Structure formats: C-alpha cells, structure tokens
Structure 1
C-alpha cells in the first residue's frame, strides 16, 4: 500500500493504478497538489506591468485567461512568461480530457495536467477545468468495451470523482459536460447518451459536486445566441435547476465565425435569460478567425476583429452574471484551427511571434475604461 500512496502523493509521479476503493483514492488524490505546493517555493505573482491585461482584470475581479498546452509551456520560455504576465486564469486545452488522463481502465495519467496546474498555481493564477464528459477524446478501451449501462455509470462516476477529486480546492470551475445539444435542438446522440441515457448529464454534475463542493460547475457548448440549440440548452439547465441538480452556469464556447455565427445582441439576450435562472455565463473558448470578418485588407479585418473582441468583453462586463473570458489559445502560433485549415486564420490576440494585435489593445482599453 505504501507504494500506491506514493504514486498519488507527488506531482512528479502522476500515473495512478486503481486498486483500492474509490473514497480512499479520491481523498488521497485531492491532497496531492497541496502537498507539492507546501513543500515548494511559495506561489508568486509575476511582477506585472501596470498595463497588462491581468493587472487591469484583477482590479475588476474579472477572470481573463486562455487555454494552455504543455509542450510550448515546457519548450518556449516566452510562452510561459507572456501567459503569466497577461492572464490570471489558465485552462488546460486537452490535458484534462478523458483519453489523456484515463488511457486504460485502471490507469490514470495526470502528467500533462499536473504540469499545467502546477505552473498556474505557482504564479497565483486560477485554473479552470476542461472537460469531464464529452463524446470526443474517448479512449479505445472505453469505446470498444461493450460495457453495460451499470458498468458505464460506474466508469463515469469513477472518472469524474478521481479527476475532480485530485484537484479539489485548486480548480475553481469545471466544464462538466461538453456539447450535449445538437444544432437542431435535440440532445446529441453521443456515446454517453446511448450507453446511459439522458440522465448522464444530471449524474455527471452530481458526481462532480460530490468530489468538490466548492467548484463551480458549467454546461459547456457553442450555443451563444437565441436559436433552437440554445433554447434546448436553456430548457435543459432550467430543468436541472428545478430538479435541484447543482449547476452554477453555462459556458459559451464562442468560436466566433467558425462554430458560432450569432448576432451579438442575441448573445446578450441569452446571457440575460440564463441570469434570470440564477446561472452564471462564461466565455470559455473564445477565438475569432478573420477570414469572414468585414474588411478588404488584413489590417481592416484585424481592426474588425478588435472591435468585436471589445464588444464581447463589454457585453460580459456589463452583465451581472458574466465574469470570465477564456481565449482558446494564447497565440496564433498554436491555434487549433491549423489542424483544420492548415492556416491559423489569425484568431487570437497575440500573433505567431507573440506580438500583441489590435484586439489586444482594444481589450486593454475596455478594461482600462472600467478602472
């Protein structure tokens, strides 16, 4: 047993083979980061220039951040220094998804996730967890296991409680279920819906709340405006609230111009109606490729991008129930869009050489105007 305890008590040893009952493992896992940080140098906030986005957002008590990848963080010094200077929030882009952390049924591997979480906490940044339940990024052992409904429920409960429990007290919010609704307004016919039924959503939130009662729990999707998809999402979360399911908010992915093309005024209306349910809204994966934006030249398109980024930030700041904007990446160099188009399409606020773009200065000006 001593060897098993060692495997989950240090950040550097993050492959966990499950042999003991779930409650003990979750208790041990939830303390691992605390042990690491207690024996390391105290967390330090980087010396911030007065005009960094992080400095201005901190004055507002506003969360501004980006998704992060472990390889550039490890290999490109400018990536980490810029991240910590400009943002107060980090969200692992892929490292907390099912397949990376749960590659075999009885094995959990937190190596990449721990590296990102430790980086953030050591710099007094907060961490957002993404994502616990999705129909992509599932391991082969799960997809090909021919499990019964009862077995799938046990696997999902184990997964959620292990992952959330490991970072209990260190991750302030979780995107619990991701992309549960189809564009036509029906529930997405996913692996989890087929195997467990629609109750997989309520169950996932219940298990996440049991693992960390203090973490804010979100349903995440690209349903920002007023349409069939967002109406179904609204009805879904309204029902959860009425059933007493612990849900704190809805994440708007906001891949603007790629997966999302909603009227900004409708986005504001959607934020408002969710607030009337007592729910928060977070922009969780915001980016904005320029190819569909107004303008004939690249400069004109970048200026349009800047105006729209500022508009959405203002929308969030003006709402009483919106306090988070997370960009889907730090720099155009590492944007996910390269995997689809072979070109970055310049979607983020720093270019491929880590230089700030017009959108960066527009966001800064909006934050400055609030202080």
Structure 2
C-alpha cells in the first residue's frame, strides 16, 4: 500500500514522507514504543515519515515469551498510532534466530518446532491481519561470506524447508500483506545476495508466496556498494518488490563536517539507486534520532548514523535525502518570527582543545533563521565548525545557519558542532547567546 499525501498546489514537498509519496514511494522509520512519550520523538515521527516499523515490539521474545502465551500490547500501541497518522506499517519480524525465547531454541523435534513456528506465525500475523502492509517473514537466514544457510535452530531442526513453510504460513494468516525476506549485507552483489537471489528465483518458479526482498542497508561511511542499483534491479526482474528496510550509515565518532558531508552523499546514493528502480517502493531508516540508535552499543566508537542528531536537528544527510526525493527544506508559507533558546554541551576534551555542540531550539512559534554568538576565552580559537556558517572578529565568533537548518518549527531544534584550540591550556567554556533576525 502506498500512502497518499495531499500537497498544496505548486508546493514542493517539505518532508521526507511527502516527497517520497510524490515519487510514488514510501519513506519510513523504525520506532520504539518506549520513546513515544517524548514529544520531539513523536512529533518528528509524525511530521517526517509515512511508514512505521516497530523496532522490537513484534519480535518473538516480546510477543510469545512463553509457549502459546502471546502479548501484543506494545505492538498494538505502535500500530494504532501509525494507523491514526495514515502510515503504512511493516511487521518485523516473524521468524529470526535472534531475540528468540530460550524455550524455542531448546526444541529438538522437527515436528514440534515446525508446529510451534506455524502457530507463532498464525497467531501474530493473524492478530494484525488487515493492518500490516509488509511482513518481514524470515530475517537473516544466510551467512556472510559463503552465503550458506545460517546455523539457526530452525535450520538445524527443520532443515532447508523452514523458510518456505514460514512464507506459506504467513500467506494463510494474512493474505493481503506483502511478504518479504529481509537480510543485511545483501545490498550489493556477493555470495550472500546471490544465495538470496537463488532462493527467491526458486520460490517464484514453484509458486511459493514471496512478494518482496528487504535490503537492510546498515552501511559504513563511504561504502555504499557501487552495484546497489544493479542488485536491486536483478531482484525486481524476478517479479518481487525491493525495499530498503533498515538504512543507517555509521561513522567513527565524533562527527565532523567532512564526515557529515560524506554521509549526506552516501544517503543520496542509496535513495537515488532506489528511485532508479521502479519496483524499489519502500525506503526505511532504522531509527529517528542518533540519540536512540542501536549503533554505538553494537559498534563502540561508531555512531551518528541517522538523519536527525541527538537533539532532533536535521543533519546534512536529511537535506540530501529530501533533495534526492525532489523536496525542498522548510515551509515557505510559514517564515516564522518566534524566539529561540540555546544550550551548550562539551562533547570531548584534551590538553589543548575541546569539542562543543550548540543546540538552538524554537519556542512556541516557528523561526525563519537564528544567530549564535560565542565569546571565546583568552587564547582560544575555532579550528573547525560544522552545520553552521561562522565569522570571527577577535575572540567573538558569530554562527549563522547553513540553509538547510535555518527554519525551525515550533519546538524544533538545530545544532552545530565545533573544535576549539586552546594552546595556552585554557579550556574554559565559551560564553554563548542566541537570537533570531
């Protein structure tokens, strides 16, 4: 299902969801019910995205923690929110070797495990039938490198046929949803994506119900596969849709202007590749804000992988994605005349310097632009500054926005970061004030 978004006559789309809809696509995000009480989180979700994937709320250990005892409460809340906002919904995920309760992993009888898997799919997909647009039926069933089947309990006990059995059970439980296979490191052509391709080709030839392939696209900075578009096209040629399901592009932290610019270009490459393939219909980022990204916990020293920073400020990657989708930043009909506040945080420090971040937040009214004045301490100077346009007079640094982060909706934030040199060892914080034009 594609979500239709009405736009004013002749207005360029101003959000990711609007711009994607204008291209006949869906642009979504993973969301967590536990963060929905945070105003900026829910506001950004509702404003920018037209598809929602529950991050963990539909996984087996949450929905069926003990045998045949189901709990869909958290997932129901997210689904209800998405429905109220007119968002498409991705079910994630029915069968996966991870986040699997111990009682499932301990089953050694083929007939027993097959029955348990079928029952789990019937109960979960059946519970949400008619509400889910796409199901990730089976997740990450192949190994990196060789493309061999992953040594999961399902593979060991049921055998190669478990994936087919899962898709058939999903079709029976929810006949109207698109059924997808989802995996990571299949974004370009390699042994793993070749194995998935062969499986999809076989399924289509034998009438096994499969409608789409999900490329997770957990990427690293500067490493978008050059053959990503060709890889998506070959899957599409099999007669399935292609979805980008868990997009993020991580970097070694802290971020700086150069890394953020590379990240923006990488995001643009991914979106452009999808737009070039008619059956690439869905693009989803794996999270709204860097603050709650899974990346730093899984890859220590890496992060800053998403489109919004820790303070929900739009990063260069956001602007690049919106432009690739044909949208324009800001709402020209609401120039704004409100006030702003600013907050400073020191993000790192060493003997002769430090990194800082300034976050500018609009009050109850939108603002069209902002200005931050930083008075540096004796001997300090700005060595680098990103997401802002600085000018210096003596020890006073005036920072203005860089275009894409000028306009702020009521309560919205933007941020910039900087590196300060302090050769005298004077690493005291600068004095900071902010204002609107």
TM-score over 0.5 for the pair: yes
Q: Which runs of 4+ in 1 moved over 6 A?
A: 45-49
* 2:280 paired residue among 322, 335, 341: 322
- 1:229 — aligned with what? 192
- 1:306 — aligned with what? 264
* 1:353 paired residue among 292, 297, 311: 311
Alignment of 1:98-109 (within 5 A): 98-109=60-71
Q: Distance in 2 between matches of 1:130 and 1:179?
A: 12
- 1:269 — aligned with what? 230
* 2:115 paired residue among 134, 142, 154: 154
Q: Distance in 1 between matches of 2:291 and 2:118?
A: 37
Conserved 8 A contact 2:57-2:63? yes
Q: 1:73, CA displacement in angstroms?
A: 0.8
Q: 1:255, CA displacement in angstroms?
A: 0.3
* 2:206 paired residue among 229, 243, 266: 243
SS at match of 2:283: strand
- 1:173 — aligned with what? 134
CA offsets 1:295-337 (integer angstroms, 9 cap, x no match): x971011011101101110110111110111101111000001
Q: 1:217, CA displacement in angstroms?
A: 0.7
- 1:11 — aligned with what? none
* 1:52 paired residue among 12, 15, 20: 15
Q: Which has the higher contact order (CA 8 A, sep 6+)?
A: 1
Q: Distance in 1 between matches of 2:119 and 2:68?
A: 10
Conserved 8 A contact 1:251-1:282? yes
- 1:209 — aligned with what? 171
CA offsets 1:16-35 (integer angstroms, 9 cap, x no match): xxxxxxxxxxxxxxxxxxxx
Which structure is higher in strand share?
A: 2
Deviates more, 1:49-58 or 1:217-226: 49-58
* Unpaired stretches in structure 1, ≥5 consecutive residues: 1-44
- 1:335 — aligned with what? 293
Q: 1:214, CA displacement in angstroms?
A: 1.0
Q: Distance in 2 between matches of 1:71 and 1:189?
A: 32
- 1:130 — aligned with what? 92
Q: Distance in 1 between matches of 2:215 and 2:147?
A: 16
- 1:287 — aligned with what? 248
Indicate how the Cα distance of structure 1 residues 343 and 110 shifts in structure 2: closer, same or farther if over 3 A, else same: farther
Indicate how the Cα distance of structure 1 residues 279 and 364 shifts in structure 2: closer, same or farther if over 3 A, else same: same
* Unpaired stretches in structure 2, ≥5 consecutive residues: 329-437
Q: 1:369, CA displacement in angstroms?
A: 6.2
Indicate how the Cα distance of structure 1 residues 160 and 314 shifts in structure 2: closer, same or farther if over 3 A, else same: same
Q: 1:78, CA displacement in angstroms?
A: 1.1
SS at match of 1:236: helix
Q: Distance in 2 between matches of 1:297 and 1:332?
A: 11
RMSD: 2.3
Q: Distance in 2 between matches of 1:326 and 1:179?
A: 17
SS at match of 1:368: coil
Q: Distance in 2 between matches of 1:51 and 1:368?
A: 9
Indicate how the Cα distance of structure 1 residues 344 and 185 shifts in structure 2: closer, same or farther if over 3 A, else same: closer
